[in-house]
Amino acid sequence: MSKTILGISAFYHDSAAALIRDGEIIAAAQEERFSRKKHDPQFPERAINYCLEEAFIDPSELDAVVFYDNPLLTFDRLMKNFLTVAPLGLEQWTKASRSFLGVKAVVKEYVRRTLGAEIKLLFSDHHLAHAAAAFYPSPFTDAAILTVDGVGEWATLTLGHGRGSRIELLKEIRYPHSLGLLYSAMTYHCGFKVNSGEYKLMGLAPYGQPVFADRIKECLIDVKEDGSFRLNTEYFGFMQQNVMTNEAFDDLFGGAPRQPEAKITRREMDLAASVQAVLEEVMLKLARNIKRLTGSKNLALSGGVALNCVANGKILREGIFDNLWIQPAAGDAGNAVGAALLANHQYFDEPRKLNPSGRDSQKGSYLGPAYSSTEVRAFLDRRGYTYTRIADAHERAKMIARSLADGHIVGYMAGRMEFGPRALGARSILGDPRRTEMQSTMNLKIKYRESFRPFAPAVLAERASDYFELETESPYMLLVAPVRESRREAMNVEDFESGHCDDMLAIINQPRSDIPAVTHVDYSARIQTVHADLKPDFYQLIKEFEALTGCAVVVNTSFNVRGEPIVCSPQDAYRCFMRTEIDLLVMEDCLLWKNEQPDFKDTQDWRAQYELD
């Protein structure tokens, strides 16, 4: 009997809902996209309603609702942590216990109120949900499963084995020993926001040298040959209070944490490079260990640390496994999918059906809402915004490609929204990667953010190996690989590397390859391979760009301003278009030019609306 199951992730970070039917992911979305609050931790009422609408079902048709975490285990951890460090942890304890005492009853009440019906409520273990999110949507019948995050209940990392419809967790590492928390501690120390700035730290690492790596391994983390590790908690603040690091940590690295928005110095670059090097070393050891334990030729990854696409690329290139699949919503949002699939296969004992095409079952992660041309036009007509409709898909792709080739920046909204943190051509801002100035233009005039971060290339799948040293698909932008040597250009980094100057802009504005806007300072790139069967409109657009320019790559960055969740609706997209220097907005088959729009009266300063991340 096929089952319809709703998965929910909530109350910690990045709430989400997912709906599966007969083992197929029908819909999945993060609450932030609807509430417009980045990483919204609230109960995902809007995301749940969207999932039900997408599946055309009434709540009473649900066989079960599954919560992504076992609150009793989380509560147990918080209590034991309190007993270990009391009275230092009193403040943290009081805060946490308020939210976790009775959380099962709270979840039950929210579910009853949102769905208006009594439905079987199940609770999944946190890392089992991560493992399920990694394995079940993957194309593998047999895979080693590695889940790595900050902490979920007690575990911070698990090694598992997936076979057919079953998942078995073989080993775990427990709080406070956490690779994710180590990386987050350094993120905090370098002046970035915990739980979102980790990606920036990874982007900063190529500017630095790993000069602190030995100190990290001597003092902060004791790593064994099998990849298991222990943190030295004397240097961290998260057990005692709500901060990541303490004075001992500051002393170890020669000073207080960088203040957010302060100038980034060589120290932060070197710290980023150092913690990244340690993370990669541990991940490679873990990958070798889990290979030994399972004998599988496939690896499935999830947990927030699996978003570290530089480490993922290293695992791939090391050749430990033949194949690698990473859950695109690797953080806790993805556990909404994982928990629902876990209930389907391990609670209801439903068999697993692999995608007959040989692909994964994540559907390109285009699992969110779409807006039809009729809906877009109704919105534009109602507001009196000027647009041109080009119904012919081929003509439209040609027009957008021409605009990109002319140096314009394009806001692109087409089809179902992405599930997970990366924009994959459904809610993206696009540009011409051949232009040296494109990286700083897009950073400063569109994203309003630090300009050191590179953009990602979206490349026609069959042309990827012409540009990058990558022999596999990367449809979810979760692998980093080097730009081909033949495309690189020598950079003048002598002053920078010798420490005479730490001005990153001097490097950023130098051409590094024939696609400079998507080439990092170490010649790496965070690649999205674009596939005709997964995203035909985006594929066609790049194909037209290639026909015009010979270049099969476009710059792809998420459609939002700094601190804003990725746009979801036509209204969100139009607002972002008018607030930034995007030249052309495409919403389905409607094209809008900035210079043809009526005066935009912004009722709110977006800089005040969104908390900078």
Residue ranges in contact with Fe ion by CB under 5 A: 149, 152, 332
Distance CA 239, CA 245 (A): 10
CA quadruple 418, 309, 151, 258: dihedral, nearest 10: -110
Helix (H, G, I), strand (E, B) or coil at 449: coil
Q: How many beta carbons lie within 10 A of that of residue 290, not counting itself? A: 26
> Least distance (Å) from Fe ion to the CB of residue 26?
23
**Nearest CB to Fe ion, comparing residues 54 and 149:** 149
CA separation, residue 426 to residues 241, 279, 497, 503 (Å):
40, 31, 39, 35
> Least distance (Å) from Fe ion to the CB of residue 147?
8
Question: What is the CB-side half-sphere exposure of residue 68 using CA atoms within 13 A?
Answer: 30
Confirm if 297 and 323 have CB atoms less than 8 A apart: yes
Q: Closest-CB residue for Fe ion? A: 149
Q: How many beta carbons lie within 10 A of that of residue 54, not counting itself? A: 18
**Nearest CB to Fe ion, comparing residues 114 and 178:** 178
> Least distance (Å) from Fe ion to the CB of residue 448?
29
> Least distance (Å) from Fe ion to the CB of residue 462?
35
**Nearest CB to Fe ion, comparing residues 305 and 479:** 305
Residue 560 sits at φ, ψ, to 5 deg, of -170, 165
**Nearest CB to Fe ion, comparing residues 54 and 332:** 332
> Least distance (Å) from Fe ion to the CB of residue 133?
10
* Buried residues in 565-593 as b, exposed as e (16+ CB within 10 A): bbbbbbebbbbbbbbbebbbbbbbbbbbe
> Least distance (Å) from Fe ion to the CB of residue 74?
11
**Nearest CB to Fe ion, comparing residues 149 and 514:** 149
> Least distance (Å) from Fe ion to the CB of residue 517?
33
> Least distance (Å) from Fe ion to the CB of residue 444?
33
**Nearest CB to Fe ion, comparing residues 152 and 482:** 152
3-state percent helix, strand, coil for the chain, nearest multiple of 5:
40, 20, 40
Residues contacting 461, CB < 8 A, separation 6+: 473, 475, 529, 530, 531, 532
Distance CA 187, CA 288 (A): 27
Distance CA 90, CA 498 (A): 47
**Nearest CB to Fe ion, comparing residues 149 and 432:** 149
> Least distance (Å) from Fe ion to the CB of residue 502?
35
Confirm if 351 and 13 have CB atoms less than 8 A apart: no
**Nearest CB to Fe ion, comparing residues 179 and 264:** 179
Tokens 């999918």 appear where?
337
**Nearest CB to Fe ion, comparing residues 24 and 172:** 172
| Amino acid (1-letter code) at residue 399 | M
